[in-house]
Amino acid sequence: MSKKNSIVNLKNGFKNHEDLSHIFKNFKNRIDSLKKKKYLVAVSGGPDSLALVALTKAYTYCKKVKFFYLLVDHNIRKNSNREAYKVKDLLKKKKIHLKIILNKKKIIRNIQAEARNVRYNILTSFCKKNNIKVVLTAHNLEDQVETFFIRLSRGSGLKGLSSMKQLNKINSQVSLYRPLLDTKKEFLTKISKISFGKYLKDPSNKNEKFLRTKIRNLKKPLEKSGIKYEQIFKSIQNLSLSRNTLDGYFDKIFKDLITKTNNEILINFSKYRDLSKDTKMAIINESIKKLKKNYYDLRSKKVDNLIMSISKKKFKKVTLGGCIFFKKGENLCLKAEKHLTSS
């Protein structure tokens, strides 16, 4: 693909490619619906994120919107900094400025989860400095199905199995939006190749010590046996609809049971005690979210153990998700560990 043709594709919204023009139209409609003047695009250099970069660039030819592009160098792999600057040079050829931020925090354990937390902290910090309300990521259909299988393997309930939301809050100021969540990876790879000619290959994507990689390698045998990812994705969408209905029900319960002060959460214990197990799990996760930034729902087994501990007469205190749970009068109280030690 020549440089001239790639620019033409960006300017005309991939009209020369029927399958890709449809993706751009959907993308445009979704960004239009957000009605923001500026966005932050999370870039990794892989085919999915470069496709997102290309779609945002194409969008600027029809709407006056400012996109900022940021790559977080997690500083885990030896050549990560050199790879980051290769991506920067690739985008520079299309007159796209990519900012690279080097993570200086050492990541040793639970690498993928810690890297994600570091990344989101850096992204939200950048948003705060530049008054940006929405971060765009390139999560796609395959990512969603992989997340479903990961959570299925961990015994997740309805909330976990409905997987990633298209729009959700990272914190009170910044939202995360996934405009390509229903798009197949093969189309994103095609957009990336047409627009940039090449993309970065992350060696960790082939490392089977990561559960996501193991699940990713199941795609071909599953589809060969007739189990299609598109059908699984439809099931996830149906689960998500059910989850939205339940979220409305839980919101009413939270308002009735939970009181939040500056650094603690109080749960009315007598009302909590009579609730179903699923509702208790939802309350525990929601309570921790109110105290902790970038918190993701805990595995059901851990919450199960906490619920069992709380139900015992001799219950005093338990630590979970960076919070300490303890009885305080007629309430179950939560405090972030750092607040507890400093109070």
| Domain at 207, CATH number | 3.40.50.620
User: Is 307 inside any structural domain?
Assistant: yes
Tokens describing residue 328: 């305080």
Number of H helices, E strands in the chain: 15, 11
Q: Where is the domain boundary, 228, 251, 269?
A: 228
User: Is 243 inside any structural domain?
Assistant: no
**pLDDT higher for 293 or 110?**
110
Going by their DSSP bridges, the two strands 66-73 and 317-320 should be labelled as unpaired
User: Is 8 inside any structural domain?
Assistant: yes
Count of structural domains, the chain: 2
* Whether residue 171 is found in the same domain as residue 271: no
Going by their DSSP bridges, the two strands 38-43 and 134-136 should be labelled as parallel
Which of 73-77, 188-192, 307-311 tops mean pLDDT?
Answer: 188-192
Query: Given pLDDT bands bounded at 50, 70 and 90, which one contains residue 199?
Result: confident
* Whether residue 280 is found in the same domain as residue 332: yes
- Domain extent at residue 207: 3-228
Residues 62, 139: Cα–Cα separation, whole Å: 24
Contact of 174 with 132, CB cutoff 8 Å:
yes
* One-letter amino acid of 4: K
User: Is 328 inside any structural domain?
Assistant: yes
* Whether residue 25 is found in the same domain as residue 67: yes
User: Is 123 inside any structural domain?
Assistant: yes
User: Is 234 inside any structural domain?
Assistant: no
Residues 29, 324: Cα–Cα separation, whole Å: 44
* Whether residue 297 is found in the same domain as residue 190: no
* Whether residue 88 is found in the same domain as residue 179: yes
Residues 149, 229: Cα–Cα separation, whole Å: 11
User: Is 141 inside any structural domain?
Assistant: yes
* Whether residue 35 is found in the same domain as residue 148: yes
Q: How many other C-beta atoms are found inside a 10 Å radius of the C-beta of residue 281?
A: 20
Q: Which of 14-18, 121-125, 130-134 has the lowest mean pLDDT?
A: 14-18
Cα angle at 73 between 64 and 184, to 5 degrees?
60
**pLDDT higher for 234 or 117?**
234
Percent of the chain with pLDDT over 90: 52
Percent of the chain with pLDDT over 70: 94
